[in-house]
Amino acid sequence: MRRDRIEEFLKECLFFTVKKLDRILDKLAEESFRSTGLSPTYGFIILAVHEKPGISQKELAELLHTAPSTITRFVEKLQFKGLLYSEQSGKHSLLYVTEEGVAMLVKINEAWDDLYRKYADIVGEDEGDGLAKQIDDIGDQLSKMNRNR
Question: The CATH number of the domain where 136 resides is what?
Answer: 1.10.10.10
Whether 20 is in a domain gets the answer: no
Query: For residues 113 and 6, which has the higher predicted lDDT (pLDDT)?
Result: 113
Q: Per-residue pLDDT tens for 62-97?
A: 999 899 999 999 999 999 999 999 999 888 889 999
Whether 12 is in a domain gets the answer: no
Q: For 87, list phi and psi in degrees, rounded to 5.
A: -130, 140
Contact 84/101 with Cβ under 8 angstroms? yes
Question: What is the chain's alpha carbon radius of gyration, rounded to the nearest angstrom?
Answer: 18
Contact 46/97 with Cβ under 8 angstroms? yes
Number of domains in the chain: 1
pLDDT at 148: 81
The H-or-E segment that residue 92 falls in is: strand 92-97
User: d(Cα 8, Cα 109) in Å, to the nearest integer?
Assistant: 38
- Which residue blocks in the chain are alpha helix, DSSP H? 2-12, 14-33, 40-51, 57-64, 68-80, 99-123, 125-147
Whether 141 is in a domain gets the answer: yes
Q: What is the model's pTM?
A: 0.86
pLDDT at 1: 45
Whether 5 is in a domain gets the answer: no
pLDDT at 3: 63
Whether 6 is in a domain gets the answer: no
Average pLDDT over residues 25-53: 96
pLDDT at 2: 58
Give the structural domain span for 71.
25-147
What is the residue-averaged pLDDT of the chain? Answer: 93
Whether 8 is in a domain gets the answer: no
Q: Which long-range contacts (CB under 8 A, 24 or more apart) does 95-104 make?
A: 95/49, 95/53, 95/54, 95/55, 95/56, 95/57, 95/60, 96/49, 96/53, 96/54, 97/46, 97/49, 97/50, 97/53, 101/46, 101/49, 101/50, 102/50, 104/36, 104/38, 104/46
Whether 4 is in a domain gets the answer: no
Whether 11 is in a domain gets the answer: no
Average pLDDT over residues 90-118: 95
Other C-beta atoms within 10 Å of 23: how many?
A: 10
